Amino acid sequence: MAEMRRRLDELRRPSGPQQRAQRALYAAAGVGLVGLLVLPLLQDQLQVNDFLFFFITASMITILVTTALNLCMGYTGLLSIVHTGLFGVGAYATGILATQAHVNTWLSMLLGVVAATSAGVVIAAVSLRARALYFGMITLTFDLIIAGVATNGGRLTGADTGLFGVPQPQLAGNDLGTRGFYYLTLALTVLTLLAVRNLMRSRTGRSFMAIRESADTAAALGIPAYSTQILAFAVSATIAGAAGAVYVTLNGFVTPQSADLSGALILFIGVLLGGTATVIGPVLGIGVIATIQHYMEVTAPNYQQLIFGAVLLAAMMLVPAGIVGTWKRSRLGSLEEPEPPSSPIGNLVEALPAERGPALRLTGIVKRFGGVLALDRVDLEVVTGSIHGLIGPNGSGKSTLVSVATAFLRPDEGSVELFGEPGPRRPHLTARRGMVRVFQSPHIFERLTVLENAMVGLHLESRQRLPASVLRMPSFERDERRLRGLALSRLEEVGLRQIAMRPASVLSHGQKRLLEVARSLGARPRLVILDEPATGLAAHEVLALAALLRRLKRLGLTLLVIEHNVPFVMSVADRVTVLNEGRVLIEGEPALVQASSEVREAYFGTLEAAGE
């Protein structure tokens, strides 16, 4: 009820040209959908032949595979060149079961989808062992293998000529028929697009996009990169497999060409021309290219691939953001989403344990890189509830020490203790243990909004489950509202609430830094490690940052601040450790450290000489 009232309020808002343009778009999409629904009923009046339905159905199948590719490539940043192969696995598995094992066609289709999903999990699990570009190449070899197996599979796959005679699924004792397939595919496409939209506006979708932007940062916020990427690939493979299962039963056959590289071009066109990482992009991209294809089948059947290639190259040069991206950047399309209503909930940080023992204790840390001794028996103790400064000249080992503390690096000797227990073994486990790291250069998820950035920080806080997210169940809606409220309260805390709906890429360097702090608070940390937070900030931004750190301390947080900016550290820190050439030079209260002659010589001396 409240939801409905909110929607009504939105409609009553004063409307500018952007709102009108958006409403016109929604209306057009609605009319289009209704048109597709009633088209078969008006077939006789409009005098369209069955081929049109077959063509639209085939295009929707391509849209499904393109949407699957977009999920991998656009949203999760995984370059997959195996999507025609996954489509082929779905098609071949369905076809083989239906023709050779004589399994009921509906059941064959279902099992075909399961086969594609399983293949996707295996391919992702193997390929993800490699880094970014090699990932794409390994998926390509999987595609070549799938097409090769189809070509050489003998009687099982029908070899070069392909698998024929796949029966249609039955509906009330009859074949599904052209119209039946039309409606089946339409329903499948609409539901898939809705599911992808819902998924991308949930915790799971945000973690996909966070990994795309930076897997390390995502891990620091508690998102396990490997299993999340496998999940994304599995969902994507399921969609591609479903498209394959429908394709093979619609046509009654499948050939090895369906699974090989040549079919991948149209998928890339669909994603890039329509707009990567947008729900409707694949529909528009495939819509355009399929229409061209449709007319060329009559006029110039031999030059289809030539035109495809040319359109793709032209699209990359002329509309690099794709149709949707270009529209969103235009004057009419640049509509800022209304700020969601929020109800600030709860405290910023959890109630803290009463004891004042060390939050973080590093003992005798030794780290070598080849022959270089980066850290030489370093001890560091950060008292709970304090701001601890860590300073030292360039190359003194500060960042290495932080990487050891946060499990990005494993020490050669020594131990890490976090709140009295052994430190975490893997980076993504640190957040679960109450420790988050804010990186040296701002690791903001540039293509997400400010609010989404803050919400990724709430990954561990979220209780959303994948099915509930996709189906928009009340439990999901409740959790999402709660997360939004929490995220907005954190943005309020750092003064970014007013620009919550802007893309993070437009923020200034200082704002990005603040956003990163706000995001790191999402995981309800007890210890925040800030790696050179004042670097590159303007003077007034440094003051704001210092004020923010003091406020966080009052809220009960422990802060470890690694810095070059000595006056800044001295102004905020309770205790300071000075690192030089991989060793602790001195540790104590700021005034004491500043007075130390050793430090002056090793560190400040050089600065004074440089005229600082």
Partner 1 sequence: MGSIVWSGLVDGAVFALLALGFNIIFSTTRILNFAQGEFLALGALLSYSLTVDHHLPVPAVLACVVLAMVAMGLVVERLVVLPIRLSGSSYAWIIATIAVAVTAENAMVVPFGRDPVRPPGLVAGNAFTLSGAPESWQTVLIIVAALVIVGLYEAFLAFTIYGRAFRATAHSLDITELMGIDTGLVIKASFVVSAIITGIAGVLVAPVTFADTSMGLRYTISGFVAVIVGGMGSSLGALVGGFLLGLVTAVAAVKISPGWANVIAYAALGLVLLLRPNGIVSRAAVH
* Interacting residues toward partner 1 by CB under 8 A: 73, 79, 81, 126, 129-131, 133-134, 136-138, 141-142, 144-145, 148-149, 151-152, 261-262, 264-265, 268, 272, 276, 302-303, 305-306, 308-310, 312-313, 316-317, 320
CB of 65 to partner 1, least distance (A): 16
Nearer to partner 1 (CB atom), residue 138 or residue 517: 138
Integer Rg of the chain from CA: 28
Smallest distance from partner 1 to CB 288, Å: 15
In whole angstroms, how close is the CB of 310 to partner 1 at the nearest point?
Answer: 6
Least Cβ distance, residue 308 to partner 1 (angstroms): 6
Q: Which is nearer to partner 1, 21 or 259 (CB)?
A: 259
Nearer to partner 1, 262 or 606 (CB): 262
Which long-range CB contacts under 8 A does 531-535 form with residues at least 24 apart?
A: 531/399, 531/402, 531/437, 531/438, 531/439, 531/440, 531/562, 532/440, 532/562, 532/563, 532/564, 533/438, 533/561, 533/563, 534/563, 534/564, 534/565, 534/568, 535/440, 535/564, 535/565
Q: Min. distance of Cβ 242 from partner 1 in angstroms? A: 24
**Smallest separation (angstroms) from partner 1 to the CB of 563:** 29
Cβ 438 vs Cβ 533: under 8 Å: yes
- C-alpha to C-alpha distance for 247 and 87, rounded to whole angstroms: 9
Kindly state the smallest distance separating residue 320's Cβ from partner 1, in Å: 4
Cα 76 to the center of its chain, rounded Å: 5
Q: Which is nearer to partner 1, 73 or 378 (CB)?
A: 73
Report DSSP state, residue 602.
I
Q: Which two tokens stand for residue 248?
A: 């093979």
Q: Any residues with CB less than 8 A from the CB of 145 and at least 6 apart, and which?
A: none
Comparing CB distances to partner 1, the nearer of 196 and 267 is 267
Name the residue nearer to partner 1 (CB basis): 304 or 363: 304
Alpha-helix runs per DSSP H in 70-156: 83-100, 105-127, 132-152
Q: Which residues pair with 511 in a beta bridge?
A: none
Three-state DSSP class for 507? coil
Tokens of 3: 């939801």
> Minimum CB separation from partner 1 for residue 11, in Å?
36
Cα(594)–Cα(575) distance, integer angstroms: 11
By C-beta, is 323 or 359 nearer to partner 1? 323
Q: Which is nearer to partner 1, 79 or 466 (by Cβ)?
A: 79
How far is the first Cα of the chain from the last one, in angstroms, to the nearest whole number?
63
Query: Which is nearer to partner 1, 160 or 337 (by Cβ)?
Result: 160
Q: Which is nearer to partner 1, 103 or 144 (CB)?
A: 144
CB 256 within 8 A of CB 87: no
Shortest Cβ distance from residue 132 to partner 1 (Å)? Answer: 8
Q: How far is CA 555 from CA 201, 523, 548, in A?
A: 31, 15, 11
Pairing between β-strand 372-383 and β-strand 527-531 as defined by DSSP bridges = unpaired
Question: In terms of Cα–Cα distance, which of 33, 40, 124 is closest to 78?
Answer: 124
CB 237 to partner 1: min, Å: 17
